[in-house]
Amino acid sequence: MNICIVSSGDFFSDYGGGQVYVRNLVNELSNRSDVNTSVISFFANCNTEAKEYKGIKVYQVCDEHTFRNALQQTCPDIVHANGEKLLTARLCKELDIPCIVTAHHGGLVCPAGAMLNTDDEICRIPADYSHCLKCYLRNTPTGLFWYPLLKKYSQERYCKIGQRLERLPNIPFLSPIGRTGLIVSRKLAEWKELSETATHFIAPSDAIAEALRRNGCPEGKITVIPHGIPDTGSRLKVHGFNNDKKVLNSQLSTLNFYYVGRINYVKGIHILLKAFSSINNTNIQLHIVGGAGNKAERRYMRQLQKEYHTDSRIIWHGKVPYNQMEELTKEFDCLVHPAIYLEVFGLNIAEALQAGKYVIATRCGGAEMQIHNNSEGILVKPNDAKEMRTAMQRYCSEKPQPSNSECKPIDIAAHVESLMSLYTKCRQ
């Protein structure tokens, strides 16, 4: 079977769970003799010659023309889209190729991207213009200030204003605000087209599957397949006593909580820091592992570092290369996953569980697929610093061990077997 994987962003980057997942997937496919795999990766500059990765051709494209050419060169039997989903579905329909889309994030159905409403709660209603306008404006400078006025405009009138502004040079503040209605309308239309055009959707969790259904995707086009991860053989036999440094930490009653991921508001790091800083215990530390990828994230990180700079127990590691993560985190005790938005899966949770770590996570969607409450970890309410603090205090006092229940990470090989079954089904 000829399989073409469309990567999430730059295939050769490891920034973000989507990129890590695609790399793991391609690594496993490269070991199989029954498939011929190729990768299409979107890059700032087009590369006319394919690169090689473990014997697999990686085409770096930058626009629709080069994308179409790459698809025609690879002649795939199936295309698995992890990025550029609508464009992929359109071209696959044109070329009569089955297209499977993995819903890696809520932005598939949510114009604002995170399925997080203006009350910082996970959105559980169907997306439509009236509901989504306020959420999108929230992410635009001064947007909420103008919302009471802008909501009085009809969708048609607001979109016409946006169309006029598109023809003009960018005007700070005015252009982003004026184009919001048009952007929301387009994103809603893009989801409708994608839901009709794509052959099938993979939902890594029940939560995103329900969101797809709620927003009009037919039940028969959705299959829930949780992500798999490579088995590194690093699961701890006895938590906290697998090397000399952990023995020393245990003897000193020092516990290391840690967070891994982007430094982004929806990841709930402000809730985690608020909870941790209120615990009166000098023998604990919190390690923040991750970087900021854009201006808003850098501003958010600076604000948090400034607010909590007097707490020496909080250690900021910055962005750490993926191949160094296991070495760094093996000295830590408990992962905290404080997401306040719809986290479709949470690859870092799976990696922590595989390493034998206990996990404190919010009920953010993907966490419930991986953790039995009070077994592998503790599930808490999103955006609730008091409940998170209580869970962290409980871990400090009880030092619970992860159980050997059936709720274990799925091996990437088993995950690929599930994908192969779906690929075969969609070809028929």
Q: Where are the domains positioned within the chain?
A: 2-109+190-229+411-427, 129-188, 244-410
Both structure tokens of 134: 């306020």
pLDDT of residue 406: 56
pLDDT of residue 278 exceeding 80, the answer is yes
pLDDT of residue 374: 81
pLDDT of residue 236: 45
Mean pLDDT of 350-379: 93
Average pLDDT, the chain: 92
CB under 8 A, 24+ apart: contacts of 384-387: 384/271, 385/271, 385/274, 385/275, 385/278, 386/275
pLDDT of residue 130: 93
Q: If one looks up domain 2-109+190-229+411-427 in CATH, what number appears?
A: 3.40.50.2000
pLDDT of residue 238 exceeding 50, the answer is no
Mean pLDDT of 242-261: 64
pLDDT band at 407 (very low <50, low <70, confident <90, very high): low
pLDDT of residue 421 exceeding 60, the answer is yes
Rg of the chain in Å (alpha carbons): 22
First to last CA, the chain: 13
pLDDT of residue 242: 37
pLDDT of residue 287 exceeding 90, the answer is yes
Q: Using one digit for the tens of pLDDT, what is the confidence trace for 63-77?
A: 999 999 999 999 999
Domain 244-410, CATH homologous superfamily name and number? Glycogen Phosphorylase B; (3.40.50.2000)
Same fold, 2-109+190-229+411-427 and 244-410: yes
Q: Using one digit for the tens of pLDDT, what is the confidence trace for 36-86?
A: 999 999 987 887 788 999 999 999 999 999 999 999 999 999 999 999 999
User: Is the Cβ–Cβ distance between 111 and 97 less than 8 Å?
Assistant: no
Is 133 strand, coil or helix?
A: helix
Element (DSSP H or E) covering residue 424: helix 412-427
pLDDT of residue 388 exceeding 90, the answer is yes
User: Is the Cβ–Cβ distance between 357 and 334 less than 8 Å?
Assistant: yes
User: Is the Cβ–Cβ distance between 367 and 344 less than 8 Å?
Assistant: no
pLDDT of residue 79: 98
pLDDT of residue 196 exceeding 90, the answer is yes
Dihedral over alpha carbons 8, 297, 308, 286 (to 10 degrees) = 0
- By the 10 Å C-beta count (0-12 exposed, 13-18 middle, 19+ buried), 154 is classed as exposed
pLDDT of residue 268 exceeding 90, the answer is yes
pLDDT of residue 36: 96
Rounded CA-CA distance 26/415 in Å is 12
Report the range of poorest mean pLDDT among 91-100, 129-138, 176-185, 405-414. Answer: 405-414
